[in-house]
Amino acid sequence: MNAKRQLGEFLYTRRALLKPEDVGLTTFGDRRRVAGLRREELALLAGVSSSYYARLEQGQSSNASAEVLDALAAALRLDEAERRHLHDLATGTRRRARGRRTAPERVTAAVRQLMAALGEVPVVVLGRRGDVLAWNRPGNALFASHVSFTGPDLPETRPNMAHMVFLDPHTRELYVDWPEKARAVVGTLRLASGQHPDDPALAALIGELSVKSPEFARMWADHRVKSGGEPVYEMRHPLVGAMRVTQQSLRTELGQNVVVATTEIGSPSHAAMTLLVHSTVTARTAPSAQAETVDTTTSQ
């Protein structure tokens, strides 16, 4: 991924979203050939020269200071997530490729302890590219009951959440408002691309999704990033039906996301989630109980 090009495209798309009246500029009814603000208008708002801003947007400059970036973020009215992304992109333009492979991602003992402490709450641990590094059985049952529980154990068999959301019909059917979930996934990948511009596996994933999914390609082109908050999704699970699920992400020191799925206590969604979790426990214990019965019968 070309960091300079990403920086320029991000600035352009954010500029195109702003109208002169949004920032208090008077146009006097002149005909405009561009969507949103002109380059010189944004440069004026940010307090930089038009030629300097043009070089940034055209990918011809990589020396923007933190002060200039903050001024551009303010002029573009970026939220906190977008502002951080802008700084990440600018840092990426100054970073030299190190020519070495990215270290494999792993789940630490501390994260596994957290998963164990959460008990029967559905949990999924996602890597920076959205690879499922680990999940507990309720997490597997909620997000991908059709995928083997042991899939995350080996790098070559790990499911990828972005891949599933865009290319797997089962996962797509889970979300009543699929476009909302899809935009959140794209926004998370967009943040990752700014933080890891030299990750070839991330670039390959984005390339594959862009080719195989026109919807991903269209969402990726608008350069939106995921903001904070706790997204709530209407889900329709094939086993227990409709649920309103809150998916909270806890970020680890290694940059992984521990996604915890919860429902409102006492609600129909909570009852459905309880039934789903109970079904996973029953499915696990049933073979063992049957084996014990056989052994007892044999010994008599």
pLDDT score recorded for residue 63: 76
**Span 207-214, mean pLDDT?**
95
Cα-Cα end-to-end distance for the chain: 68
**Span 26-41, mean pLDDT?**
73
Beta strand ranges found along the chain (DSSP E) = 123-126, 132-135, 232-237, 241-251, 257-262
Tokens of 202: 């991330």
Residue 298 has pLDDT above 70, yes or no: no
pLDDT score recorded for residue 290: 47
* Most confident residue range from 56-65, 191-200, 204-213: 204-213
CA separation for the pair 98, 120 (Å, rounded)? 42
- Of the candidates 256, 263, 245, 278, the one whose C-alpha atom is nearest the C-alpha of residue 138 is 278
CA separation for the pair 70, 66 (Å, rounded)? 6
| Across 30-39, 96-105, 221-230, 283-292, least confident range | 283-292
Residue 286 has pLDDT above 60, yes or no: no
Q: Does 160 or 19 have the greater pLDDT score?
A: 160
Q: Are 68 and 48 in contact (CB under 8 A)?
A: yes
**Span 213-224, mean pLDDT?**
93
Side chain identity, residue 242: A
Q: Are 211 and 201 in contact (CB under 8 A)?
A: no
Q: Does 36 or 113 have the greater pLDDT score?
A: 113
- Of the candidates 46, 63, 56, 40, the one whose C-alpha atom is nearest the C-alpha of residue 6 is 56
For 157-205, the pLDDT digits (tens) are: 999 999 999 999 999 999 999 999 999 999 999 989 888 888 899 999 9
- What is the band of 21 on the pLDDT scale with cuts at 50, 70, 90? confident
CA separation for the pair 94, 170 (Å, rounded)? 41
Helices (H), 145-267: 161-167, 169-174, 178-195, 200-212, 214-221
pLDDT score recorded for residue 1: 62
- Of the candidates 145, 142, 136, 164, the one whose C-alpha atom is nearest the C-alpha of residue 244 is 142
From residue 281, give the alpha-carbon distance in Å to each of 135, 286, 294: 15, 9, 21
CA separation for the pair 39, 51 (Å, rounded)? 9
Residue 229 has pLDDT above 80, yes or no: no
For 71-101, the pLDDT digits (tens) are: 999 999 998 888 988 988 888 766 554 545 6
Q: Are 277 and 122 in contact (CB under 8 A)?
A: yes
What is residue 131's three-state secondary structure? strand
Q: Are 4 and 93 in contact (CB under 8 A)?
A: yes
For 118-172, the pLDDT digits (tens) are: 999 999 999 999 999 999 999 999 999 999 999 999 999 999 999 999 999 999 9
| Across 44-48, 144-148, 226-230, 244-248, least confident range | 226-230
Backbone angles phi, psi at 249, to 5 degrees: -110, 125
What domains sit in the chain, N to C, each tagged with a CATH number? Answer: 3-94 (1.10.260.40), 109-287 (3.30.450.180)
